[in-house]
Amino acid sequence: MKVGFIGLGAMGAAMASNLVKAGHTVTVWNRSEAATAPLVSLGAKAAATADRAAQGEVLHSMLANDKAVREVILDSGLLDGMDPGTVHVNHATISVELARVLVEEHAKRNLGYVSAPVFGRPDVAAAGKLNILAAGKVSAVQKVQPLLEAMGAKIWPLGEEPERANIVKIAGNFMLVTAVESMAEASALTRAHGVSAGDFLEIMTSTLFASPVYQGYGKSIVEQRFKPAGFALPLASKDIGLALEAGTSRHVPLPFASLLRDSLLEALAQGDEDLDLASLSLVAARRANLGD
């Protein structure tokens, strides 16, 4: 299939590479042109502009936030240059409000639109083992199903309203950040009483919380391994903001989300923008005067 892929950060590049490996004709674009080189070496074509990457049957995008999606997809006029019937698959974690705007703008131009945010870090994306949420018109989802399968271990259908996938992604990331914050605080508590984070988290992630999120982030906390960031603090902060925004829009109180927002802001205020979410353990340690 002839596809385009725009947005080649750690996640986007890994996902696009699996489309190339699956035999699809892939044209890539990124704001930073250097990011296209590894994909070109695999057999992808580099587009000089985003709209040139949108000339295939399907366009994938993996952009950082609402602002980037608005600029690249909406404000640039990219949609106006796409052929009717082309399907846009948006993998970004964006607000529910923007998701609804995108549905309207694609419908005006007779373009298909599928919201397909993912669960998984860059290493999982590179292995083609992502869990991919998918919501959109049945015909559009069916058209892109082989592409999603090339990038993911499982595709989770969520109906015909694309914003359904976005709210599930937002709520899922809210739970993920909650899990990391709880490990950070609990391990600070045990350290203050003479039990190392390593001993404590090995027990917890082997018994009560023997799941990938706890095990993976728990290991990062113990090893103080915060770079390179698989889920950088600014992105986590953005996602908690989206959860609070979505809660406010439907009068859903999210007390934990407010606490997480403040923990993340505290980390960012300390200059930790390039660190992984697991570095919330540093915040908990500083609060308890435990050092690192």
Gap between the Cα atoms of 282 and 224, Å rounded: 9
| Residues 6 or more apart whose Cβ sits within 8 Å of residue 202 | 218, 222
Gap between the Cα atoms of 158 and 166, Å rounded: 10
Helix or strand or coil: residue 88? strand
Q: How far is CA 82 from CA 63, 190, 266, in A?
A: 18, 57, 43
Gap between the Cα atoms of 142 and 269, Å rounded: 45
DSSP β-bridge partners for residue 119:
131
Gap between the Cα atoms of 91 and 112, Å rounded: 14
DSSP β-bridge partners for residue 130:
152
Out of 2, 169, 219, 227, which one is annotated catalytic?
169
Q: Name the amino acid, one letter, at 274.
A: D
Helices (H) and strands (E) in the chain, counts: 12, 9
Q: Assess whether 169 carries a catalytic annotation.
A: yes
Catalytic residues: 169
